[in-house]
Chains A and B, each alone.
Chain A
Amino acid sequence: MKHLEKVILSAAIMGVLVLNSCKKEVTPTATLTITEPVAADTVPHGDSVHMEGTIVGSGELHGYTLQLTNLTSGQVVYSGSTENHQNSYAFHEHWPNNVASTSNMRLTLTVNLDHDGNTTSKSVDFVAAQ
């Protein structure tokens, strides 16, 4: 009888281990909001571009990157990133509009959903005036 109990207990432990090892971590989703700049907006020369928004995940996120690109010149004029693991983020950064000529700009927000390379992103295009 004791032998039977041992077999059942071992089977149960094995079952738990197998089930746990098979459970795949679900990749969270994220809602990206860029409050500023507003799409198609024109930022006067000398003013600061406000880069503001939030990221809300369904689970733990693995960081994000904010990048501002001058599409006219092809240059990345601002880039910032964090690898902090959080369920949500809020950002508010500034970039002074000092373009030499009126340029089309793109702000891109990319969120790392996991460490397997899964990301989600959102972009806003606007104009930096000279």
Chain B
Amino acid sequence: MKWITLYGSVILTFSSWSCDICGGVPGNASIGLMASTQFHMIGLKSTMSCYRSYLSGILHSREFLLQQELTGRWQPAPKWQIMASIPYQFSIQQRDLGQDAVAGFGDPSWMVNRVLVHRKDSLNITRSFLSIALGVKVPLGKRAPEKSMIRNLYPGTGAWNLNAVLLYTTRLKRQVSWQQEGSISYKFSDSYGFRYGNTYSLASTLVWNRKAGLGRLIVGAGLRLDDFEASTLHSMGMSGFNNQGVSLSSQCSLNYMGYRWLWGVNLKNPLVQNFNQGSMKQGLSASLSISYLLISQHQKK
């Protein structure tokens, strides 16, 4: 099975949830551990995130977001991938005196990835890999009304996002590679003039992979830095909380690629964060994913 000797391959794991609880990260694109497989994929991903909100340093509420995503990836040519995601989100905020819940479809996203450099050794194993991805998040999801006090709970932002991701992977040892990723999410205003600030991310991950049974085990661990610019209203700065902040997180993932299925578990845990002057804190975020692999035409050839 030649495909299993691929050193690394990429799966786009971008999310498109609307959440000013965490600084408004919709469309924040992130290319996962694996680069350039020769497969089309269709999959499901479940992500659970939790947050705590504070007033004057006192715990005010807890927020839980459960997102289900239908993900797809099409490999039209060896160096091109097109990826799409349609999320459905259920979110709830629990307070002393009540709770609010919102459910609905989020904003779908598309992204086109182009492999710029793919160096291989004499055994056809990847030595280094560079790719760039450009994408868009379309405001078709459920969005908050203009004066909503729970805007963060809604799955859609009502605004377009443009996303770009640059990914570089280099092999360190036979089974270990180092992946670095930089991404930008440029955000437009919604029809009410509200605009989440742009998001900039850097991630560095060590990836270890080995053959396991009939498939391949791929494990990654690393750090991720996210910078969230302040939200604005009609291009003016907002008084009070504006979703500005920085977050440094540890993240790890465990993936198993079998003959037809790819399984994945991802964990992300903030180490340092200061959203909204420390009034909102993200807890552990976990996701499970499963994808069905379809051999692409050029792979068959």
The interface bits of chain A over 84-112 (1 if a CB of B lies within 8 angstroms of the residue's CB, else 0) are 10001111111000000000000000000
Shortest B165–chain A CB gap in Å is: 36
Which residue of A has the minimal Cβ distance to B58? A90
Known A-B contacts A48-B147, A48-B149; the reply to A91 vs B59 at CB < 8 A is no
Q: Which of the residues B55, B95, B98 comes within 8 Å of A54, measured between beta carbons? A: B55
B192 CB-CB contact with A under 8 Å: no
The interface bits of chain B over 88-118 (1 if a CB of A lies within 8 angstroms of the residue's CB, else 0) are 0000000111100000000000000000000
* Residue contact B58 to A93, C-beta cutoff 8 Å: no
Which residue of A has the minimal Cβ distance to B149? A94
* Residue contact A90 to B98, C-beta cutoff 8 Å: no
> Considering the chains assembled together, what is the distance between the CA atoms of A8 and B298 in angstroms?
93
B interface secondary structure, majority: strand
Q: For residue A94, which residues in chain B have a CB less than 8 angstroms away from its CB?
A: 149
> Considering the chains assembled together, what is the distance between the CA atoms of A66 and B61 in angstroms?
16
Most chain A CB neighbours (cut-off 10 Å) among B60, B61, B95, B97: B97
Which residue of B has the minimal Cβ distance to A51? B97
> Considering the chains assembled together, what is the distance between the CA atoms of A91 and B93 in angstroms?
13
* Residue contact A92 to B95, C-beta cutoff 8 Å: yes
B56 CB-CB contact with A under 8 Å: yes
B54 CB-CB contact with A under 8 Å: yes
* Residue contact B149 to A91, C-beta cutoff 8 Å: no
A120 CB-CB contact with B under 8 Å: no
* Residue contact A92 to B55, C-beta cutoff 8 Å: yes
> Considering the chains assembled together, what is the distance between the CA atoms of A89 and B59 in angstroms?
7
Number of B interface residues, CB 8 Å?
Answer: 13
> Considering the chains assembled together, what is the distance between the CA atoms of A64 and B54 in angstroms?
18
Number of A interface residues, CB 8 Å?
Answer: 19
> Considering the chains assembled together, what is the distance between the CA atoms of A47 and B147 in angstroms?
9
| Chain A stretch 57-100: residues in CB contact (< 8 A) with chain B | 64, 66, 80-82, 84, 88-94
* Residue contact A92 to B60, C-beta cutoff 8 Å: yes
Shortest B264–chain A CB gap in Å is: 37
Q: For residue A66, which residues in chain B have a CB less than 8 angstroms away from its CB?
A: 97
Known A-B contacts A48-B147, A48-B149; the reply to A93 vs B95 at CB < 8 A is yes
Q: For residue B95, which residues in chain A have a CB less than 8 angstroms away from its CB?
A: 91-93
| Chain B stretch 39-61: residues in CB contact (< 8 A) with chain A | 54-56, 58-61
| Chain B stretch 41-84: residues in CB contact (< 8 A) with chain A | 54-56, 58-61
Sample (7) of A-B pairs whose CB atoms are under 8 Å apart: A54-B56, A81-B97, A82-B97, A91-B96, A92-B95, A93-B95, A93-B97
List 14 other contacts, CB 8 Å, given A56-B58, A66-B97.
A48-B149, A52-B55, A54-B58, A64-B96, A80-B97, A82-B97, A88-B58, A90-B60, A91-B55, A91-B60, A91-B95, A91-B97, A92-B60, A93-B95
Chain B residues within 8 Å of A, Cβ to Cβ: 54-56, 58-61, 95-98, 147, 149
